[in-house]
């Protein structure tokens, strides 16, 4: 067999355009070729299980290898292979027309950068790094002859008899001058780790030495010898592909370590599993956050049938959950469209609200099942919950039942509980509820004590997000205002049961106050004679509220 031909596509010179498009992201060619090899392997397995292929399946691993001298990189599989006719159909037509379509659709796109890496160009992407691509293949079909195809990325190709003796396909890339980085073990390992780590078929890349027990020495101690074993770069059965019932807590923790080797254990996790109306699996972890500024977004990895796609999951995961870690796998997320498309996609919208609901349900369950441990974790999860309550109406409605308020005595209350706790005492003259809070309990201790003395409870609201959370509560809670404890506020609190009067007369009080004011001699400091009871604060000196606010404003940064 010998055939030269022309691939019939209408854009003659698509190659330079594609090269320009994917300039910064050439490495994805390997993801594409390895996924094709995996697809071909899965297909032969399916044919075999359907009885449509009677032969031996054999060892089905995919192998990636390179030859520095010949400057070739080869991806081999023992999949279903192709006949010469199929090459013409699938490679010349499908692969090339996919590439043409891409160019036609996106050659004028402004957001080309966003498309990069999200649009699998499939087989054709090999030409980004190779002068020449060669296929050696043998179809599984009875009586099939091995075939060879060779092409330099232009529309001309050549098909001849092939040399492959075993079912399957070799894709051989003759790496071009600018792409020699892809002939380095280190670089290839890096790309395989990134994209192929959880592909469903074992992928071999070279060998590695391992020590193996080998009997005992004269003293009866175990002996070891080093053996060369296949270097399998992937874990073909990651936990998100398994049923939650078959997994232990340790499995989830181990997987977390596999994803983020240097992180502390997560607080808890949620296993996602939907098959209707869209397909989605995954595991989301709540990380331990050391401080409010320690957030790292984009730690969730997005997969499509176990092929890594991106760690930019904006739009798919609700904004307030971007701080979670873990994986999401969905073949139903369109990967070949631009961002604006993604936002409008109905599956993406459904996925987004599904995740929100799942997270809310899980939190509600944790709260119900073990309130004590929920309270202990509140320091870490409170920020997520509050962020969610502020940004998503639907989440607020669910979270209002388990969101906690903490007071300066380190007690935790749900919104409902807090309301009943304080409603008898903390009202203003119009009968509205007054919640007091502090953002810095140590600095405002004097006011907190005075408020407590008047039987008012004080909430601690000391994370940066609490500013916004307070606003949200004021909007949501009926007839309730939240006030920061300071001298103005404390002065005006209505005292329910009168505590013993000052031991000093009014005249004496004025005198003592006068002495303090002269001694301090600062116009913006306010002196208050509280009480001369020995176990209480006798005198408080505070900065004028207006001055403090001015200072705060000057220091204020933007955002949360
Ligand atoms: P896609 O994978 O999205 O179909 P590609 O451009 O990656 O598009 O591949 C085009 C077609 O070429 C595949 O659908 C498949 O039929 C065929 N093909 C590519 N690689 C292989 C392979 N290793 N073994 C068998 N068939 C292959
Ligand atoms: Mg493909």
Per-residue three-class SS string for 64-92:
EEEECCCCEEEEEECCCCCCHHHHHHHHH
* Pairing, β 2-6 against β 130-138: unpaired
How far is ligand 2, taken at its centre, from the CA of residue 134, in Å?
Answer: 16
> What average pLDDT is seen over the chain?
84
Q: Whose CA is nearest to atom 16 of ligand 1?
A: 90
Q: Tell me: pLDDT of 296 over 90.
A: no
**Which of 33, 85, 90, 171 is the pocket-test mutation for ligand 1 (most atoms within 8 Å of CB)?**
90
What confidence score (pLDDT) does residue 319 get? Answer: 86
d(C-alpha 361, C-alpha 88), whole Å? 52
Q: Which residue has the higher pLDDT, 201 or 344?
A: 201
Q: What is the pLDDT of residue 463?
A: 84
What tokens appear for 185 in the block?
């073990």
pLDDT per residue over 453-462, tens digit each? 888 899 999 8
CB 193 within 8 A of CB 233: yes
Tens digits of per-residue pLDDT, 304-353? 889 888 888 877 888 888 888 999 998 887 665 455 556 667 778 888 88
Contact predicate 199/208, CB 8 Å: no
Distance from the Cα of residue 420 to its chain's centroid = 38
Average pLDDT over residues 543-553: 60
Structure tokens at 164: 């492959």
Tokens of 124: 């054709």
Q: Output the pLDDT for position 116.
A: 42
Q: Which residues pair with 69 in a beta bridge?
A: none
d(CA 485, CA 457): 10
> In this structure, which residue's CA is closest to atom 13 in ligand 1?
90
Tokens for 231, please give them: 């270097």
Q: Best mutation site among 95, 153, 167, 195 for ligand 1, i.e. most ligand atoms within 8 A of its Cβ? A: 95
pLDDT of residue 139: 97
Whole-number Å distance, alpha carbon 36 to ligand 1 midpoint, is 5
347 CA from centroid of ligand 1 (Å): 26
pLDDT at 117: 42
Measured CA to CA, the distance from residue 118 to residue 61 in angstroms comes to 26
Handedness of CA 290, 296, 300, 301 (dihedral sign): negative
Work out which ligand 1 atom sits closest to the CA atom of 75: 23
What is the pLDDT, as a whole number, of residue 508? 77
Q: Which residues line ligand 1 (CB under 6 A)?
A: 32, 36-37, 40, 77, 79-80, 82, 90-91, 94-95, 98, 122-124, 169
Instruction: Return the residue matching tokens 């208050």.
Output: 528
- Counting every residue written for the chain, the total comes to 560
- The dihedral sign for the CA sequence 310, 311, 314, 318: positive
Can you read off the two tokens belonging to residue 249? 């807590």
């Amino acid at each position: 067999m010998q055939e030269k031909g022309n691939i019939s596509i209408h854009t003659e010179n698509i190659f330079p355009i594609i090269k320009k498009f994917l300039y910064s992201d050439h490495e994805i060619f390997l993801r594409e070729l390895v996924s094709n090899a995996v697809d071909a392997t899965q297909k032969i397995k399916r044919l075999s299980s359907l009885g449509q292929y009677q032969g031996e399946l054999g060892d089905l691993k995919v192998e990636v290898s390179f030859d520095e001298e010949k400057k070739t990189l080869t991806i081999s599989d023992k999949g279903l292979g192709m006949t010469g006719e199929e090459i013409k159909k699938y490679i010349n037509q499908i692969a090339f027309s996919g590439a043409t379509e891409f160019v036609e659709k996106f050659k004028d796109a402004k957001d080309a950068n966003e498309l990069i890496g999200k649009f699998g160009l499939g087989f054709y992407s090999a030409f980004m790094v190779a002068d020449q691509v060669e296929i050696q293949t043998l179809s599984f079909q009875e009586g099939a002859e091995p075939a060879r195809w060779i092409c330099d990325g232009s529309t001309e190709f050549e098909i001849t008899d092939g040399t492959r003796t075993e079912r399957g396909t070799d894709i051989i890339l003759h790496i071009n001058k600018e792409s020699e980085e892809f002939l380095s073990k280190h670089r290839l390992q890096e790309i395989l780790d990134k994209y192929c780590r959880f592909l469903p078929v074992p992928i071999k890349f070279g060998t590695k030495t391992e020590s193996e027990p080998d009997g005992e020495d004269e003293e009866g101690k175990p002996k070891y010898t080093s053996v060369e074993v296949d270097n399998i770069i992937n874990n073909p059965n990651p936990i998100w592909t398994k049923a939650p019932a078959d997994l232990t807590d340790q499995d989830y923790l181990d997987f977390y370590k596999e994803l983020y080797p240097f992180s502390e254990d997560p607080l808890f996790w949620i296993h996602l599993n939907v098959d209707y109306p869209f397909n989605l699996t995954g595991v989301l972890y709540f990380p331990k956050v050391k401080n409010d500024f320690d957030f790292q977004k984009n730690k969730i990895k997005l997969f499509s049938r176990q092929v890594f796609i991106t760690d930019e999951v904006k739009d798919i995961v609700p904004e307030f959950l971007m701080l979670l870690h873990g994986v999401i796998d969905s073949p139903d997320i369109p990967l070949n469209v631009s961002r604006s498309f993604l936002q409008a996609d109905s599956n993406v919208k459904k996925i987004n609200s599904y995740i929100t609901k799942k997270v809310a349900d899980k939190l509600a369950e944790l709260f119900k099942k073990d309130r004590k441990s929920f309270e202990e974790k509140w320091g870490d999860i409170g920020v997520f919950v509050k962020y969610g309550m502020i940004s998503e109406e639907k989440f607020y409605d669910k979270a209002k039942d388990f969101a906690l308020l903490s007071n300066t005595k380190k007690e935790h209350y749900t919104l409902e509980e807090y309301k009943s706790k304080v409603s008898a005492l903390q009202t203003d003259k119009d009968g509205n509820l007054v919640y007091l809070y502090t953002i810095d309990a140590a600095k405002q201790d004097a006011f907190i004590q005075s408020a407590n003395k008047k039987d008012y409870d004080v909430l601690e609201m000391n994370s940066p997000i609490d500013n916004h959370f307070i606003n949200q509560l004021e909007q949501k809670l009926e007839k309730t205002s939240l006030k920061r404890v300071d001298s103005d506020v404390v002065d005006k609190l209505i005292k329910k049961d009168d505590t013993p009067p000052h031991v000093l007369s009014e005249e004496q009080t004025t005198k003592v106050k006068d002495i303090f004011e002269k001694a301090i001699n600062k116009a913006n400091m306010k002196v208050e004679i509280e009480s001369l009871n020995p176990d209480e604060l006798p005198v408080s000196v505070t900065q004028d509220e207006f001055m403090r606010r001015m200072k705060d404003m000057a220091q204020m940064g933007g955002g949360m």
